[in-house]
Amino acid sequence: MKDITIVICSYNYERFLREAIDSALAQEPDRTVVVVIDDGSTDGSRAIIESYGDRIVPVIKENGGQASAYNLGLEMADTPYLLYLDSDDVLYEGAVAQVLRAFESGNYAKVQFRLSVIDGEGVRTGARVPNSTPPAGCGELLRRGWLYPSPPASGNAYRVSALRQILPVPKAKGRGIAADFFAIYGIALLGDVMAIEEELGGYRVHRKESGAAPATNREVGLSIANCQDISEVVHAFPHRWAALRQLVSERLGEELPERAIDFSYEKAHLCMRVYDATLWKRWQWILCDSRQYFRSIVANPFWTVGKKVSAIALTLVCLVPSRRISDQAVLYIANPLARGAQGARS
């Protein structure tokens, strides 16, 4: 029996798929099973998957969305640990070896590691996610509503026995329900989370090239997520939290707070209200609607005092009369990737 299953979930990402598979196959081959789930792709993904023969476990299925791929990957896992790798991301050399050593050092429900933010060509941008390290006791903080700092999907490995208490993901209700959201945060209620400081993989930021409307400069500048603008973050997050609360109540018998506290969500509100806004609208936001935003900074259990002071100071720059300076401050708050681009335009 091997130790960890890497489940690559893919849909129409033939441009990146081979790089993802190769990075997974390079990880401790004697201890790793690589499962590639194609979720009904209509591009050349299937031919790429078939070219690997028995080096991987291929699964070709009808399109059912991320939740169906996550559920099937967990169902297939016959190892103590599991890592979901998005097909546009990569693992760096030695990533799984470090993850397995971390699991073996304690009874952890999840081991997470930082991801380098890379561009469409795989070049490191200099940014990384997450920027903060979660403290011990993530579960207790989550029970108070605080979402702990976590990398995107590809930076998380799970103890399968714990993950099966959270998944399978229920059929999505409402908008923007992401399967990885359930796994990343629900797992913290079932055991300790171990955070590796090193960047062990690449999180690729790009825009879909086919069938998608061109992204505006505002969308590219303000959002680090792929093909998702700030307004979608704001609208989707409450649905995700409500769905997680329901799942935790039904499966674990626990009640999470009605409202979550998350700086990423609050800064999305800031962007919608302040970016490219008149001076009056910017002051109106800070005087009337900024309470939750500043609470997510001042009471943040994951940030140092220095980081809190810096965030507040940078936010106050948004109130200067110059819209150009205000917008630059918003870009620095919202998305580290925008900083280089902003400097290049100046």
* % of the chain with per-residue pLDDT over 70: 87
Q: What does the pLDDT look like over 148-190, one tens digit per residue?
A: 999 999 999 999 999 999 999 876 554 445 789 999 999 999 9
Can you read off the two tokens belonging to residue 217? Answer: 């400069």
According to CATH, the topology of domain 4-204 is Spore Coat Polysaccharide Biosynthesis Protein SpsA; Chain A (3.90.550)
| Dist. CA 102–CA 199, nearest whole Å | 15
Element (H, E) at 246: helix 230-252
Q: What does the pLDDT look like over 8-25, one tens digit per residue?
A: 999 999 999 999 999 999
Helix axes 323-334, 337-345, angle to 10 degrees: 150
pLDDT at 335: 72
pTM above 0.85, yes or no: yes
Which residue do the tokens 């939290």 mark? 241
132-159: average pLDDT: 93
pLDDT at 235: 81
Domain ranges for the chain, please list them.
Answer: 4-204, 261-346
Q: How many Cβ atoms are within 10 Å of 110's Cβ, its own excluded?
A: 26
Amino acid type, 346: S
pLDDT at 96: 98
| Dist. CA 120–CA 209, nearest whole Å | 11
Q: What does the pLDDT look like over 104-128, one tens digit per residue?
A: 999 999 999 999 999 889 999 888 9
The pLDDT confidence band at residue 217, using thresholds 50, 70 and 90, is very low
Strands 90-91 and 124-129: unpaired
Which residue do the tokens 């900083």 mark? 339
Q: Is the peptide bond before 168 cis (omega within 30 degrees of 0)?
A: yes
Are the C-beta atoms of residues 222 and 339 closer than 8 Å to each other?
no
pLDDT at 1: 80
Q: Is it the case that residue 227 has pLDDT exceeding 60?
A: no
- List beta partners, residue 111: 157, 194
49-63: average pLDDT: 96
Which residue do the tokens 């194609």 mark? 38
